[in-house]
Amino acid sequence: MSFSGIGTSVRFVADMIVTKVIALLLGTEGIALLGNLKNAVTSMKTIATLGLFDGVVQKVLVVKDDKEEMKALLSSAYFICFVVTMVLSAWLYFDPIFWNDVIFGKPYDFSYIFKQLGIALSFYGVNVLCTSIVKGFSKYKVYILLNMVGSLLGLFITLILVWEFRLEGAFIAIVLNPAISLFVTIVIISNQKNFAKLLWANRISKKYIKQLAPYAIIGILSGAIFPFVKINIRNQIASLYGMKTAGYWEAMQQISDHYWLFFIGSLTVYISTKLRVRYAKDTFRDVVEAYLKEIMPFVAGCFLIIFVFKKEIISFVLSVDFMPMEAVFKWQLIGDFLKMITLVFSYQLVARGWFVQYVVIELISVAIFYGSSVFLINEYSFVGGAMAYTLYAACTFLFTVLLFKDVFIIRKN
């Protein structure tokens, strides 16, 4: 956990430095455009790997002592990702104008970046599968080391490219950094004999393709659809009030990403795996009680501090030019607090195999998020986007609590 804390701190500081430099050099409009590309890359990476990271991690936990089963699992994951990645890469490379219009809109022409993304996408997929193997073997120090080195290397490359080429440099960095992370991953894993030989698994199994399918659905819903909804919301704000105004909303997303990393970065590596394994009702009730009593009061206190010192945070993390975004803090913090509570239940949905329930909750909640944003943005400008997020988080929380109502029933002696 202490090593995980160091890793989280490195990533946190690196992300803060990048955000500050981009805010100073590119301003609010640059922040908004970069937000669109970041969300697009997140979605593409998830689609290319079919969101199989969590699925592979959990399956590796089960079969890691059986070499033949391990080969079958990884071969199946490699095969699925290879087919999907090749199709998506070709689409990005040969039809970049379509993706430019979807992500940025016709007033902008950044089609060249999607050609680059098409080339880099295959590297993303390999990197995700490699790191899922490491995490599945519970080699947390290796996993954290990969993230630390990747963050530092990404910081160095981003600063150089943004300083030299401004917005175009930032775009190239977003596309290039995850691909470069593969180089770091291979170098570190090559020194781990147990992992290196798994990269060449060659035994495809229909059984594991079927078992990984639910994780693919969940991964695409949470990792691909939600970012595209955020792109549409950002574009809606830009079309009504200008890209500068959209930058205020996106800047809040950046700050939110920072404190999310701070709060759960040190815990997710260890706790998420334990929650997937320890899914008995009584055991899970104990986990929930500890989570709500020990972690959430600390989170609430930190969120209160963030709200009180929001002006200072905006000035320190971004610049005084972003001060109008002060109005969205309360809505974002309320939504994130509800999402933080819901987090522990989300892991349990997967642990119990409640894939249908997870999909239904996610679809309904995202539909509410997008639908409410259309109305609220028209009425309240970029603040309406944050209001819609709070409504989305509240609905997700309510649906999840109703689904897990047995956890809140007092135990009988």
399 pLDDT more than 70: yes
Domain count, the chain: 1
413 located within any domain: no
Tell me how crowded residue 339 is: count the other CB atoms within 10 A of its CB.
19
Supply the range of the domain harboring residue 51: 2-408
- Which pLDDT belongs to residue 158? 92
User: Which whole number is the average pLDDT over 208-225?
Assistant: 76
Q: What is the helix, strand, coil percentage profile of the chain, to 5?
A: 90, 0, 10
Residue 340, SS3 per DSSP: helix
71 located within any domain: yes
pLDDT tens for each residue of 318-351? 999 999 999 999 999 999 999 988 887 877 776 6
With a CB cutoff of 8 Å and minimum separation 6, the contacts of 209 are 76, 79, 80
Instruction: Output the six-digit token pair for 404.
Output: 């897990």
3-state SS, 353-378, equals CCHHHHHHHHHHHHHHHHHHHHHHHH
323 located within any domain: yes
279 located within any domain: yes
299 located within any domain: yes
8 A C-beta contact, residue 276 and residue 58: yes
Measured distance CA(66)–CA(342) in Å, rounded: 34
Distances (CA, A) of 330 to 234, 256, 258, 333, 388: 19, 12, 16, 5, 12
8 A C-beta contact, residue 59 and residue 73: yes
Q: What is the pTM of this model?
A: 0.86
Confidence of residue 194 (pLDDT cuts 50, 70, 90): low
- Exposure of 101 in the CB half-sphere (CA atoms within 13 A): 5
pLDDT tens for each residue of 119-171? 988 788 778 777 777 776 667 777 778 888 888 988 999 999 999 999 999 99
Positive or negative CA dihedral for 123, 127, 128, 129? Answer: positive
